[in-house]
Amino acid sequence: MTMDPRLTASSPGTATHCPYCALQCGTRLSGVRGAVEVRPDPDFPVNRGGLCQKGWTAPDVLGVPDRLATPLVRGADGRLAAAGWDEALDLVARRLREIRAAHGPDALAVFGGGGLTNEKAYTLGKFARLALGTSQIDYNGRFCMASAAAAQIAAFGVDRGLPFPVTDLGGADVVLLAGANPAETMPPLLRHLDRPDLIVADPRRTRTAERAALHLQPTPGTDLALALGLLHIAVTEGLVDKAYVDERTTGFDAAWARAVAWWPERVEAVTGVAVSELRAAVRMLAGAERAYVLTGRGAEQHSKGTDTVAAFINLALALGLPGRAGRGFGTLTGQGNGQGGREMGQKADQLPGYRLLTDPAAREHVSRLWGVPPDRLPGPGRSAYELLDAIGEAGGPRALLVVGSNPVVSAPAAGRVTERLGRLDLLVVADFVPSETARLADVVLPVAQWAEEEGTLTNLEGRVLRRRRLLDPPPGVRGDLEVLHALAVRLGEPAERYPCAPREVFAELREATRGGPADYSGISYERLDAGAELYWPCPEGSTGTPRMFLDRFAHPDGRARFAPVEHRDPAETPGPGFPLYATTGRVLAHYQSGAQTRRVARLAEAAPEPFVEMHPDTAARAGLADGQWALVRSARGAMRARVRCEPSLRTDTVFVPFHFPGAGRANLITHPALDPRSRMPEFKVCAVRVEAAP
């Protein structure tokens, strides 16, 4: 509970959703004697009356002492100083016009976020392509779900994180979690994983792995070899569901031609996972009446992440899991609106409704709704890291608008990205706290928070949800839709093209998505407010699609596709100068770059500083002891962290969380190598050495 001066008396409860992860746990907010109080919604099936530490403390962020309440403009003395809204917006619009006139529209760029509501993500994509005229828009979801999305589209014809309700997992007998640690990243999910036997593939013995019936502990960067080996065992032990493969899939022979070389002993040599454990995992999955395979960031955030997810899909298809009641394959979306955020047009290659920007029919449909000719829509732009890395280069962005993201902490090779941001002619950041990125900006625009706005979000199971407002924004703070409207009008766009009311925006995005893979045309605020449970695709007149693929997959022939994939090493492996693998991830108390959670006293006390987790023998060889400060150094830079000895960790591996700023940024060491298809950076593995900090 946190005191809020906007609550002068008790206020009725507001049903809404947690602002953090993609579970979007149902919550009820109320004002009690001048304080915002949160309680879990016992009727919302995803969290079933539970919340994690972050959810329980979410109201604390509403009143943090350094909450932004007025625009800031960097003056001639180099300092940010308070300014009026008209002054700040006039300055931004003037500089955008000047830079566009001098260098062309692609000198302007937009970087969005996976936590924005559907309405804001939709408007941001329209603003970039029409008001700015630029192709240079992408978002931080490229760092989260891009590989899983690419693999699912290739296999199934469409990407929805979980193509079934999360509650289905509660009826499973066995669930394989590949590179996922929901005990720390989304704890309420465990309420659905109490019954199944868990198989957890993770280099660390995480809190999730501690609950597992079987823990597979592969060398970092070898998840693809692991998946190939599991498919090999399924085939050679006669555990393939041949009737399903023949009737509902295509491409099995080509996939098997790659997996045939990954016999169990070879997989053990590459991954370090014992043959007996490999066989046990496949037999558990194949022997279960109801089984699921789920991937997370640990398998996906690699330069071969798309192929890795495809390999786990191959395993699931061989066992006959996807598109069958009580069975399935899915991926655990991370960010709060990671699913909806990539459907609404803020991704470099997509238009609303999960339509491709290169599809002439999609361009015609959306441009007609927007009232412009199709050729006014730019083509696909750079992916997230490539956009940031191109700053300062010939033909690269010279002005950047950041909305709902903190790339100074969250981008790979963070030192390089920070240096690139410093080359911009104009950096504008819309945020509600002075994040590390906002502190570098030329103009900072204070915007509303989750409990101060209306809108919709789409959670990891494709369920569309209503965000409802408890409070008005503080004086001097505006909503993102208002900001984009004001800038668009100053740039010469018609005011009616950019509604400020979320309900009006949603009515338009319904039409924009109509007939697309992610069809929202049958969803409305009225239906959601009446309590309807609506999952996309939901065409007009439909009740939605809680379970996809039960009759056919989304390819024209109705069949799922196996993918012929081959293991390859990560972009960087340990050697004489950097003898250890480093892998990154989250901790229970914090979320993403930590800009919100590090400001909550109870969460900061639970996880106050960066640490490097390492085996005691590894620490001893480096001359380090538990609790000592160390430098974790890669070829790109070094981060400072406190040593935390963990006997269950592999002796060749260290782990660092990525929530901390400054010298404790894990992304100072991570590798920016990109997956060739998804353009996902290789966050999960790089070569490092650990040494005592001076």
pLDDT on residue 11: 56
DSSP 413-468: SHHHHHHHHTT-SEEEEEESS--TTGGG-SEEEEB--GGG--EEEE-TTSBEEEE-
Q: How many residues does the chain have?
A: 694
What is the mean predicted confidence (pLDDT) over 563-581? 97
Who's near 660: CB < 8 A, 6+ residues apart?
409, 594, 598, 609, 610, 666
d(CA 622, CA 615): 11
pLDDT on residue 562: 98
Residues 99, 390: contact at Cβ < 8 Å?
Answer: no
pLDDT on residue 6: 62
d(CA 215, CA 202): 7
Task: Give the chain's mean pLDDT.
Answer: 96
d(CA 127, CA 344): 12
The helix/strand/coil state of 528 is: helix
pLDDT tops 60 at residue 54: yes
Percent of the chain with pLDDT over 70: 98
Chain centroid to Cα 336, Å, comes to: 8
- Give the count of beta carbons closer than 10 Å to the beta carbon of residue 516: 25
Please name the residue ranges forming H helices in 157-274.
182-185, 207-210, 223-236, 242-248, 252-259, 264-271
Residues 664, 634: contact at Cβ < 8 Å?
Answer: no
Residues 177, 200: contact at Cβ < 8 Å?
Answer: yes
Residues 384, 138: contact at Cβ < 8 Å?
Answer: yes
Question: Which region holds residue 413: left if phi is over 0, alpha if psi is between -120 and 50, else beta?
Answer: left
Cα dist from 284 to 266, 289, 468, 601, 676, whole Å: 21, 10, 43, 43, 33
Instruction: State the virtual CA torsion across 160, 164, 165, 171 in degrees, nearest 10.
Output: -140
Quote the DSSP letter at residue 569: -
Look up residue 504 and give its amino acid. Answer: E
pLDDT on residue 334: 81
Task: Dihedral sign for Cα 163, 166, 171, 175, please.
Answer: positive
The two structure tokens encoding residue 108: 């302007």
pLDDT on residue 3: 58
Token look-up 């929805």 returns: 160
Percent of the chain with pLDDT over 90: 95
pLDDT tops 50 at residue 9: no
Nearest-5° Cα angle at 255, 253 to 259: 110
d(CA 683, CA 442): 29
Burial-class residue 127 by CB neighbours within 10 Å (0-12, 13-18, 19+): buried
pLDDT on residue 33: 67
Percent helix, strand, coil in the chain (nearest 5)?
Answer: 35, 20, 45
Cα dist from 679 to 4, 118, 353, 650, whole Å: 42, 23, 21, 29
Phi and psi torsions of 99, nearest 5°? -65, -40
Candidate from 10-14, 383-387, 477-481, 626-630 with smallest mean pLDDT: 10-14
The helix/strand/coil state of 503 is: helix
Token look-up 């081959």 returns: 566
What is the mean predicted confidence (pLDDT) over 278-290? 98
H or E element: which one contains 341?
helix 338-341
Chain centroid to Cα 39, Å, comes to: 25
pLDDT tops 90 at residue 5: no
Candidate from 7-16, 323-332, 398-407, 677-686 with smallest mean pLDDT: 7-16
d(CA 245, CA 50): 39
pLDDT tops 90 at residue 599: yes
d(CA 389, CA 395): 12
pLDDT tops 80 at residue 10: no
Q: Residues 16-53: pLDDT tens digits?
A: 999 999 999 999 999 876 789 999 999 999 999 999 99
Phi and psi torsions of 673, nearest 5°? -55, 140
Beta strands in 321-425 (DSSP E): 328-331, 350-351, 355-356, 399-403
Who's near 430: CB < 8 A, 6+ residues apart?
401, 402, 403, 404, 444, 445, 447, 480, 483
d(CA 435, CA 115): 15
The helix/strand/coil state of 407 is: helix
- Domains identified in the chain and CATH numbers: 2-63 (3.30.200.210), 72-143+337-453+476-494 (3.40.50.740), 146-332 (3.40.228.10), 580-692 (2.40.40.20)
- Nearest Cα residue to 537 out of 153, 45, 156, 160: 160
pLDDT on residue 4: 66
Burial-class residue 277 by CB neighbours within 10 Å (0-12, 13-18, 19+): middle
Q: Residues 623-654: pLDDT tens digits?
A: 999 999 999 999 999 999 999 999 999 999 99
Quote the DSSP letter at residue 59: G
DSSP 149-182: HHHHHHHHSS--S-SS-GGGGGG-SEEEEES--H
Look up residue 270 and give its amino acid. Answer: V
Burial-class residue 570 by CB neighbours within 10 Å (0-12, 13-18, 19+): buried
d(CA 378, CA 135): 5
pLDDT tops 70 at residue 450: yes
